[in-house]
Chain A
């Protein structure tokens, strides 16, 4: 077996190391901490020639990251969950500065109630910030995506920060074989960062994100961010071709799994997509013609690739590992919107909500998704949002509630 056993967190640190970053502002939070701990030790022992600074909060951390990137430094930082939310104001701000830094988010469900395990309400809350978003399924994809992220971010057609997402626990603390890309190949893939519009330095006054009262200038600049983001679809394609040429692995904005003759398609993101693929194999062995579409790039939204993959299917199920209270699954809405004008749109769209707070998705739940989706396809009418919550889990929850009630009344 090639490579070495590595957690997603260590793979993320390797991404920063191979990208030869200059500056790492940091603040710890489970399940991300191993990333900045590793970078701290590499900076400390000279393995990585970068400045590592621990800030007082994620808000300061993102401010420092944006400011450092504005001097022309290559910047890496990482956070998770509540930390990402604490940095929220600054996410929008630095995206407007058009600074191409890379932020790794290790997904963890949001409070409250509080937990440590993942879902995607944290990263998807940032979907309107102007950051590009790449969501990884494997530890290998984490390191590779960070390298691609720098190349895309620093492209003059883009110049936007990128968020690379990996699931807490299911990738962050999970070790699997990872091939560390060859540093010389990475150098070829990722030329030194030479931004034309940035360059804060001593005795050279320079202001970013200045006030633009009156809506027309504001509209112009915000629209520029939108266009830059849309450009990233094409730039990603170029980066993917070049990355494959140098490192032998190919990543597209979406990934199809056993789609060729699939009647029904399950749409997923992130680490649980591995389980989804396994479930597709099981369902196929039982004669169901199903496939899986994994969304890898969430911003910009790869509408054409999604339409291409989903057109003509009988039914599509979107498994959202997030919940927008009062609405339902976030990605379901976006999938539905981009299929509306498609003449050959699927006859049924089904929305499933699952894996909240890291809740396991059992083989039986996947089979239930395929069954319900097939029925919806035959009926020609979608369903949802359906919460994936089993009878057994329901029983256990009621038991816990009864125990708590006993304590209160005793």
Chain B
């Protein structure tokens, strides 16, 4: 028997740690476990996936989980990002958890996802309880643990081990365990269907043929390296200009690592929100506090950072 859980998040949200919490909890309960993350060059906000397998026998699988029993989506904006592949392999037997303020029904109506959907607003819980967004790994792990049928005590023990590994203080760990336990209790259950699937049929292979180097080499021929791909979903916070406070010093323009701030003829910054990744460097550098960070929340700005 094997349980295959796939986590999707953005760098910094804790998808990898969540997958480890789940793996450790399963291991504590005597299962063979395997967990692994996959990500690109290290950066906050970029799509990250992590995989946890739980079995009674040695696991003869590695890496990508193509047909998950449970998918945990830490950031709803990943659902419609084709690069994240969050919906791959989900069918009507797959359980799907989405970190969202919407209920499962509301979400379903909005996004019409395949799979058996359940939701909870873990980001809001983390912001309320810990005052920061990065702290949802334990909550994701707790929710996943509940959905695959692991015990609350093993999840709490796993949270302690994994967060201690990350160097967190005992008091923080204890607080996290308490909040995670609440999430464990509160998540609305959906049934897991892990009956064995049809074995895979041989796939059709199609090797690429030779194409001229204009197509056959990896290169970028445009200024922005992702001109038609929006990075807006990377943000938890967006920088917003309060024009009356701006003194036109150009510091935000100089410090923006993405080059998405341009200056208009009145020396005021104009932010390209399609490519701003929400790093907040401009907000921190602005000497007059003319730039403020506002929480992105499913379209409307609902929470303003201190």
Contacting chain B: which of A88-96, A210-218, A337-345, A401-409? A401-409
Report the separation of the CA atoms of residues A175 and B51 in the bound assembly, to the nearest whole angstrom.
10
Q: Is A364 interfacial (CB 8 A cutoff)?
A: yes
Q: Is A390 interfacial (CB 8 A cutoff)?
A: yes
Asked if residues B207 and A386 are in contact (CB atoms below 8 Å), the reply is yes
Q: Is B23 interfacial (CB 8 A cutoff)?
A: yes
Asked if residues A368 and B202 are in contact (CB atoms below 8 Å), the reply is yes
Report the separation of the CA atoms of residues A45 and B299 in the bound assembly, to the nearest whole angstrom.
49
List the B side residues contacting A358 at CB < 8 Å: 63
Interface of B is mostly: loop
Asked if residues B27 and A1 are in contact (CB atoms below 8 Å), the reply is yes
* Chain A proximity mask over B25-42: 1 for CB below 8 Å, otherwise 0: 001001111111110111
Asked if residues B218 and A177 are in contact (CB atoms below 8 Å), the reply is no
Task: Identify which of A117, A275, A407 gathers the most chain B CB atoms within 10 Å of its CB.
Answer: A407
Q: Is A387 interfacial (CB 8 A cutoff)?
A: yes
- Taking CB atoms and an 8 Å cut-off, the chain A residues in 294-350 that contact chain B are none
A-B contacts at CB below 8 angstroms, number: 123
Asked if residues A401 and B205 are in contact (CB atoms below 8 Å), the reply is no
- Please judge, given known A-B contacts A116-B41, A169-B38, A176-B59, whether A368 and B199 are in contact too, CB under 8 Å: no
Asked if residues B61 and A275 are in contact (CB atoms below 8 Å), the reply is yes
Asked if residues A174 and B205 are in contact (CB atoms below 8 Å), the reply is no
Report the separation of the CA atoms of residues A271 and B203 in the bound assembly, to the nearest whole angstrom.
22
Asked if residues A394 and B30 are in contact (CB atoms below 8 Å), the reply is no
Question: Closest residue of chain A to B19, judged by CB?
Answer: A175
Residues of A in contact, count (CB < 8 Å): 53
Contacting chain A: which of B94-102, B112-120, B221-229? B221-229
Residues of B in contact, count (CB < 8 Å): 40
Report the separation of the CA atoms of residues A410 and B222 in the bound assembly, to the nearest whole angstrom.
10
Q: Is A191 interfacial (CB 8 A cutoff)?
A: no
Chain A nearest CB from B192 CB (Å) reads 21
Q: Is B215 interfacial (CB 8 A cutoff)?
A: yes
Q: Is A60 interfacial (CB 8 A cutoff)?
A: no
Report the separation of the CA atoms of residues A116 and B218 in the bound assembly, to the nearest whole angstrom.
15
Question: Closest residue of chain B to A276, judged by CB?
Answer: B60
Q: Is B208 interfacial (CB 8 A cutoff)?
A: yes
Chain B nearest CB from A43 CB (Å) reads 18
Asked if residues B32 and A274 are in contact (CB atoms below 8 Å), the reply is no
List the A side residues contacting B24 at CB < 8 Å: 5
- Please judge, given known A-B contacts A274-B61, A363-B200, whether A175 and B36 are in contact too, CB under 8 Å: yes
* Chain B proximity mask over A349-387: 1 for CB below 8 Å, otherwise 0: 000000000101011111110110000000000000011
- Please judge, given known A-B contacts A177-B27, A360-B66, A401-B215, whether A390 and B203 are in contact too, CB under 8 Å: yes
- Please judge, given known A-B contacts A5-B23, A177-B33, A391-B204, whether A170 and B62 are in contact too, CB under 8 Å: yes
Asked if residues B208 and A170 are in contact (CB atoms below 8 Å), the reply is no
Question: Closest residue of chain A to B42, judged by CB?
Answer: A30
Q: Is A208 interfacial (CB 8 A cutoff)?
A: no
- Please judge, given known A-B contacts A5-B27, A271-B62, A275-B62, whether A173 and B37 are in contact too, CB under 8 Å: yes
Q: Is A113 interfacial (CB 8 A cutoff)?
A: yes
List the A side residues contacting B202 at CB < 8 Å: 364, 367-368, 370-371
Chain A nearest CB from B257 CB (Å) reads 20
Report the separation of the CA atoms of residues A387 and B210 in the bound assembly, to the nearest whole angstrom.
13
List the A side residues contacting B27 at CB < 8 Å: 1, 4-5, 177
Report the separation of the CA atoms of residues A272 and B202 in the bound assembly, to the nearest whole angstrom.
18
Asked if residues A389 and B62 are in contact (CB atoms below 8 Å), the reply is no
Residues of A within 8 A of B (CB): 1, 4-5, 30, 112-113, 116-117, 169-170, 173-177, 271-272, 274-275, 277-278, 281-282, 285-286, 358, 360, 362-368, 370-371, 386-392, 394, 397, 401, 403-408, 410
Residues of B within 8 A of A (CB): 20, 23-24, 27, 30-38, 40-42, 59-64, 66, 199-208, 215, 218, 221-222, 227-229
